């Protein structure tokens, strides 16, 4: 007797756009691997998943001995030249990105990114983004990250008093944004700047909710975390700098509130790499990315090394570094991320690529490898980079997992990513919107 599964039609007349036969499926929902599965894709969507493999399609891929998983999300991306960066992101299997503002992010730049992301013939991930930064003059990132042209109303909003917020939120709400980006942070290293006052954060959350928009806050320590919790911020775009003590009741109260309010939290451990690479390039030497690392070494200069020294000094104090490895630097963060994931917080992968020595596409894999090295399971890491990320992007009804009815964003791997997360680099094919994407080396 023939059993048809989820719409699988045993009709030789039906020709799908793409069929991947007999593959090992990791669907992104966190459930374990399904063997010898056939997936049919039609008109951008996954239309059938089942054991029936005798299907017609314009393109058929034999998935035997291969592994299929959802396309990855990098939920913290900056880009200076998106045409080049998009190609690298797709090359490494990142089919969706989240851009939480940045020095290039004018309305025109955002519109150009969105336009490119909406087609499937030139490699480009789906683009989700926030408004421009809401911050204040003389604060982060305007003062702390010099060297960029920042113009109020174009790539940044400098708030002077809370009465402006109503009008500004109304203004940015006309654009297809996920929400408002607000910077609470006092800067990455001494000399720190003043933080935006609590009432500005509170008001921004209230105004955003009138337009069904969420707030995406940039925080870098426990004080700023507490401010975000108090204001009811729905998304935190960095983990780095926060320090959670599971035995501290105040911390547990914050975390419980975050869980109850369904807050999403992006990892971005690679931001520390961006600071540390100039001091310890030997910590990061990497066969798989040799050309990029060579380029990175050429970028090293005394200015960058000095800037890194200042930041590393501050971090060293904070982390009490004993062993000279990158892992020892971020280990304590990985422990926290692991704890929060197990606690039920919607933890999401992001690399903060676009910062120095933090490579588009590849550095998300570095982020995943660090989490695995620190004790997290590949299946959980994958969920953070797929379904959890889609949830944060308010698109888990159509993205983030390989299920019937969802859009076909997928990566086919030669090796099993559940054995080692490094195997996410063994990419055979990248599919976005049901279309096989051109990779950089092809
Ligand atoms: Zn960033």
User: For residue 261, what are its two tokens?
Assistant: 């309010």
In this predicted structure, what is the pLDDT of residue 429?
Answer: 98
CA–centroid distance, 272 to ligand 1, in Å, is 12
CA–centroid distance, 100 to ligand 1, in Å, is 7
Largest CA distance in the chain: 73
Same domain for 225 and 203? yes
Residues recorded for the chain: 442
DSSP codes joined into one string, 260-297: HTT-EEE--THHHHHHHTTT-GGGS--GGGHHHHHHHH
Residues β-bridged to residue 265: 236, 347
For residue 7, being part of any structural domain is answered with no
218-244 per-position pLDDT tens digit: 998 999 999 999 999 999 999 988 999
CA–centroid distance, 202 to ligand 1, in Å, is 22
Same domain for 160 and 115? yes
CA–centroid distance, 2 to ligand 1, in Å, is 52
What's this model's pTM, rounded to 2 decimal places?
A: 0.93
For residue 432, being part of any structural domain is answered with yes
**How many other CB atoms are there within 10 angstroms of residue 338's CB atom?**
17
Q: Which distant-in-sequence residues (6+ apart) come within 8 Å of 103 by Cβ?
A: 78, 141, 145, 148, 149, 150, 155
Same domain for 171 and 254? yes
Same domain for 29 and 124? no
Span 83-87, average pLDDT: 93
For the four alpha carbons of 420, 424, 429 and 431, in that order, the dihedral sign comes to positive
CA–centroid distance, 367 to ligand 1, in Å, is 14
For residue 26, being part of any structural domain is answered with yes
CA–centroid distance, 76 to ligand 1, in Å, is 6
CA–centroid distance, 101 to ligand 1, in Å, is 8
* Least reliable range by pLDDT among 148-157, 291-300, 421-430: 291-300
Find the CATH number of the domain harbouring 139. Answer: 3.20.20.140
Same domain for 407 and 352? no
CA–centroid distance, 205 to ligand 1, in Å, is 20
CA–centroid distance, 319 to ligand 1, in Å, is 21
For the four alpha carbons of 373, 374, 380 and 383, in that order, the dihedral sign comes to negative
CA–centroid distance, 218 to ligand 1, in Å, is 8
CA–centroid distance, 102 to ligand 1, in Å, is 7
Same domain for 177 and 119? yes
* Least reliable range by pLDDT among 30-34, 362-366, 426-430: 30-34
Long-range CB contact pairs, 297-305, < 8 A, 24+: 299/356, 299/357, 304/278, 304/356, 305/278, 305/279
Same domain for 281 and 190? yes
CA–centroid distance, 77 to ligand 1, in Å, is 7
CA–centroid distance, 241 to ligand 1, in Å, is 13
In this predicted structure, what is the pLDDT of residue 1?
Answer: 33
- Residue 230 CA to residue 48 CA, distance in Å, equals 45
CA–centroid distance, 354 to ligand 1, in Å, is 8
Domain span at residue 316 reads 72-392
* 285 against 259, higher pLDDT: 259
How many domains does the chain divide into? 2
Residue 354 zone, left/alpha/beta (φ > 0; ψ -120 to 50; rest): left
CA–centroid distance, 117 to ligand 1, in Å, is 20
DSSP codes joined into one string, 398-438: TSSS--TTSB--EEEESS-TTT-GGGGG-EEEEEETTEEPP
CA–centroid distance, 1 to ligand 1, in Å, is 55
CA–centroid distance, 357 to ligand 1, in Å, is 13
CA–centroid distance, 308 to ligand 1, in Å, is 17
* Statement: residue 199 has pLDDT above 50: yes
* Statement: residue 20 has pLDDT above 90: yes
In this predicted structure, what is the pLDDT of residue 307?
Answer: 76
Find the CATH number of the domain harbouring 426. Answer: 2.30.40.10
What are the Cα distances from residue 24, in Å, to 4, 62, 68, 411? 19, 11, 6, 12
Same domain for 52 and 78? no
- For residue 138, with 0-12 CB atoms within 10 Å meaning exposed, 13-18 middle and 19 or more buried, which class applies? exposed
- Residue 102 CA to residue 377 CA, distance in Å, equals 32
CA–centroid distance, 71 to ligand 1, in Å, is 22
Pairing of strands 435-436, 94-99: unpaired
* Statement: residue 297 has pLDDT above 90: no
CA–centroid distance, 144 to ligand 1, in Å, is 13
In this predicted structure, what is the pLDDT of residue 211?
Answer: 97
b/e per residue, 63-82, with b = 16+ CB within 10 A?
Answer: beebbbbbbbbbbbbbbeeb
Span 401-418, average pLDDT: 98
CA–centroid distance, 99 to ligand 1, in Å, is 8
CA–centroid distance, 303 to ligand 1, in Å, is 21
Q: Which distant-in-sequence residues (6+ apart) come within 8 Å of 303 by Cβ?
A: none
For residue 327, being part of any structural domain is answered with yes
Same domain for 267 and 308? yes
CA–centroid distance, 353 to ligand 1, in Å, is 7
Strand segments, DSSP code E, in 66-168 are 67-70, 72-74, 94-99, 126-129, 133-135, 156-158
CB 409 within 8 A of CB 125: no
CA–centroid distance, 350 to ligand 1, in Å, is 9
Same domain for 289 and 352? yes
- Residue 221 CA to residue 197 CA, distance in Å, equals 15
Same domain for 186 and 319? yes
CA–centroid distance, 377 to ligand 1, in Å, is 26
Same domain for 193 and 122? yes
* 142 against 409, higher pLDDT: 409
């Amino acid at each position: 007797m023939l059993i048809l599964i989820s719409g699988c039609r045993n009709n030789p007349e039906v020709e799908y756009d793409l069929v991947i036969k007999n593959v090992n499926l990791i669907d992104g929902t966190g459930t374990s691997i399904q063997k010898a599965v056939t997936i049919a894709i039609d008109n951008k969507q996954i239309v059938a998943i089942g054991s029936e493999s005798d299907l017609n399609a314009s393109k058929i891929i034999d998935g035997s001995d291969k592994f299929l998983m959802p396309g990855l999300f990098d939920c913290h991306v900056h880009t200076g030249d998106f045409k080049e960066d998009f190609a690298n992101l797709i090359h490494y299997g990142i089919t969706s990105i989240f851009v939480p503002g940045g020095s290039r992010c004018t309305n025109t730049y955002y519109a150009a990114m969105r336009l490119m992301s909406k087609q499937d013939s030139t490699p480009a991930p789906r683009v989700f983004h926030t408004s421009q930064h809401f911050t204040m003059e003389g604060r982060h990132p305007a003062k702390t990250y010099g060297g960029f042209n920042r113009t109020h109303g174009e790539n940044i909003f400098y708030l002077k008093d809370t009465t402006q917020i109503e009008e500004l939120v109304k203004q940015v709400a006309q654009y297809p944004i996920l929400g408002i980006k607000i910077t609470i942070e006092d800067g990455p290293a001494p000399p720190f700047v003043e933080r935006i006052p609590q009432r500005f954060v509170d008001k921004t959350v209230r105004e955003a909710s009138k337009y069904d928009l969420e707030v995406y806050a940039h925080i870098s320590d426990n004080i700023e975390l507490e401010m975000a919790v108090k204001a009811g911020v729905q998304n935190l775009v960095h983990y780095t700098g926060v320090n959670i003590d599971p035995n501290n009741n105040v911390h547990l109260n914050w975390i419980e509130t975050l869980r109850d309010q369904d807050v999403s939290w992006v990892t971005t451990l690679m931001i520390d790499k961006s600071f540390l690479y100039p001091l310890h390039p030997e910590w990061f030497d990497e066969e798989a990315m040799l050309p990029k690392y060579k380029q990175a070494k050429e970028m090293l200069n005394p200015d960058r090394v000095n800037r890194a020294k200042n930041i590393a000094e501050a971090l060293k104090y904070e982390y009490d570094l004993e062993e000279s490895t990158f892992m020892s630097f971020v280990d304590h963060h990985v422990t926290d991320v692991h704890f929060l994931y197990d606690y039920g917080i919607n933890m999401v992968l992001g690399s903060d690529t676009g910062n120095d020595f933090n490579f588009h596409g590849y550095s998300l894999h570095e982020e995943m490898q660090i989490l695995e090295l620190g004790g997290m399971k590949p299946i959980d890491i994958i969920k953070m980079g797929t379904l959890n990320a889609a949830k944060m992007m308010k698109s888990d009804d159509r993205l983030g997992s390989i299920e019937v009815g969802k859009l076909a964003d997928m990566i086919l791997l030669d090796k099993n990513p559940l054995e080692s997360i490094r195997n996410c680099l063994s990419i055979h094919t990248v599919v976005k919107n049901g279309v096989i994407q051109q990779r950089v080396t092809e």
